[in-house]
A and B are shown apart, each in its own frame.
Chain A
Amino acid sequence: MLIEVRGASVSFGSREVFAEVDMTFPDAEVSALIGPSGSGKSTMLGAVSGQLKLDRGHVRWGAASDAGSEPDPDLVAWVPQSASLLGHRSCVENVALAGLCRGLPRSAAMEMAHELLADFGLSKVALTPAGRASGGERQRICVCRALATGRPLVIADEPSANLDAANTDLVLAAFARLAGSGVTVIAASHDPAIVGVVSHVEYLR
């Protein structure tokens, strides 16, 4: 799904985060949103997903201007910047939750969760409480959970912040496969190294 941002401005009080920003995120591709810390990447992703109102400008999904639709947070799989998990539940249960919320029976949701964790090299922590997993493991669990929602738009806020090079490659490869199956992926990052790996880049400064 093509996403267009036009004339977007957001301020918090007197602090202007960004103003008059235009961006396009192409359908079924992995886009990167690059900018330094505090430039408003998380804020922009919030607006793109429909969770945050722009002060001025608009975000349209599907097509430019009037032909598109308003953003719908219920269609977005969100990978948060700070890994939010149920710390006392196992890693696999955390991922299975997304299957459960789609209406899958618990057993099917668990099976899917185990497969996703295996894809990201997390089988050995599947049964440990998520609160005990390492920062990088937790971040990948959040990616697995987002994939398990089966939603057509994946928005990842700094998905590689805590990952080593090998795991960053793993996540980006998974994003590329998703895009190949028609899912639109947007990943924010302050790491310019990501630029070479994605098919589209937008900048905030």
Chain B
Amino acid sequence: MKRRDPRVSILEWATEAVRNLAPWRSRGFLAVALSVVTGGVAGLMLAASASAYQADQDREDLSGAQVVVLGEESDPDSPLISRASCEGLARLPQVRAAGTARLMGYRYFPRLGRVAVMAVSPQLVQFGGQQILVGADLADRSGLRGPGHLADSDGVGHAYGVAPRQPEGVDLNGSVVVARWPDAQVRSCLVWLQSAVAAEAALPTLVSQLELQGQGQLAVRANPESGAAAQRLLGRSDRAAVLLLGMLVGAASGLFRRLRPADAASYRLSGASRMALFTLVLVEDLICASAFVAAGLAMIAVSGGQVLGPASGLWVGAAGLASLVTSLPVALAVVLPQPIGLVKD
């Protein structure tokens, strides 16, 4: 006497789902709207916190926390470092820039006044094809924007650019910088580490790459706080918060469904099996989760796509999945009971 469950195609359930979610002010519409809003908030949170942490990290970078000084310029007993081996450190993956810098003297430029001229390795500061660079602070003070031509006291023009701001410890921001370097050996080597690198961990590699000459001990100056900002970036809690948002919206849409048991009862009274009703619920919640993810990705795209890697998109996707995983068990409360149990509510 048992009838088989007739096969209703998934397409029909998708049609049903869309018609249940579309009507203005219906339970379904509320669930979709909530998904869109929270998805957008999730995207905004990811973008805002990533750019805040990025700014934190940039500030930390410029504060000199990532600068390591090997050797001692003013100490005649300090071992000599081969300039090539110092500049070669720039090729290491942990290193952002490396090289030497030395004060050449002071010169007068009509646009700048009397300023220090520093000779540096091109591995430490990118010259970008210019003959000379004007330090960032000096350029600000003098109203120079670069690139252009800068006349010296003899009226000779030099192609110049404005140097990117250097961290403390690489003290070039107030000087004119040239890429001339006569010496093969130097007494100190400046290394600007990548943001995520802790100096303590990188030092043995750095020192082992240097070619040294002399008996003295190589002095090392490094910041014990190096790498901390990047650690903060990695350990930030916005991703957990986004997952939590996904779960909250899933719980809410599950709750909406429980508050309207008549909807579930209507399907069961129309002859839908529990499995069929669950299929419908699944499709409805999939649509809500997709709305959440789409809104999140859209927000990321408009508010900070450039600072965020593809990982942020994945986190929004994970949060969408979390909403689905949360709403489905809540939905079982209307899927499992017999229709008279639902109608009684």
A72-124 interface (Cβ within 8 A of B)? 72-75, 77-78, 80-82, 84-89, 93-94, 97-98, 100-103, 106
Whether B339 lies near A78 (C-beta < 8 A) is yes
Whether a CB of chain B sits under 8 angstroms from the CB of A151 is yes
Whether B265 lies near A100 (C-beta < 8 A) is no
Q: Known: A51-B339, A74-B2. Is A88-B23 also a contact (CB below 8 A)?
A: yes
Selected from B8, B266, B271, the residue in CB contact (under 8 A) with A85 is B266
Q: Known: A88-B26, A101-B8. Is A74-B266 also a contact (CB below 8 A)?
A: no
Whether a CB of chain B sits under 8 angstroms from the CB of A149 is yes
Give the B-binding residues of A (Cβ under 8 A).
42, 45-46, 49, 51-52, 61-62, 69, 72-75, 77-78, 80-82, 84-89, 93-94, 97-98, 100-103, 106, 129, 142, 145-146, 148-149, 151
Most buried by B among A61, A75, A103: A103
Residue on B nearest A101 in the bound complex, by CB = B271
Q: Known: A86-B20, A87-B262, A100-B8. Is A42-B269 also a contact (CB below 8 A)?
A: no
Whether a CB of chain A sits under 8 angstroms from the CB of B125 is no
Residue on A nearest B343 in the bound complex, by CB = A80
Selected from B1, B20, B269, the residue in CB contact (under 8 A) with A89 is B20
Residue on B nearest A80 in the bound complex, by CB = B343
How many residues of B are counted as interface, with CB atoms below 8 angstroms from the partner's CB atoms? 33
Whether A84 lies near B6 (C-beta < 8 A) is no
| Per-position 1/0 for B14-35, Cβ under 8 A of A | 0110011001001110000000
Q: Known: A84-B265, A87-B262, A88-B26. Is A98-B271 also a contact (CB below 8 A)?
A: yes
Whether B343 lies near A100 (C-beta < 8 A) is no
Say how far A59's CB is from chain B's closest CB, in angstroms.
14
Whether A72 lies near B2 (C-beta < 8 A) is yes
- For the complex with contacts A51-B339, A77-B271, A97-B270, 20 further pairs of A-B residues with Cβ separation under 8 Å are A45-B340, A61-B1, A69-B1, A74-B271, A74-B273, A80-B269, A84-B269, A85-B266, A86-B20, A86-B262, A87-B26, A88-B28, A89-B20, A97-B16, A97-B267, A100-B8, A101-B271, A103-B7, A106-B12, A149-B271
Whether a CB of chain A sits under 8 angstroms from the CB of B338 is yes
Whether A101 lies near B276 (C-beta < 8 A) is yes
Which residues of A are found within 8 Å of B262, using beta-carbon distances?
84-87
Whether a CB of chain A sits under 8 angstroms from the CB of B263 is yes
Whether B339 lies near A100 (C-beta < 8 A) is no
Which residues of A are found within 8 Å of B1, using beta-carbon distances?
61-62, 69, 72, 75
A85 to B15, CA, bound (A): 18
Residue on A nearest B261 in the bound complex, by CB = A84
A172 to B150, CA, bound (A): 103
B297-342 interface (Cβ within 8 A of A)? 338-342
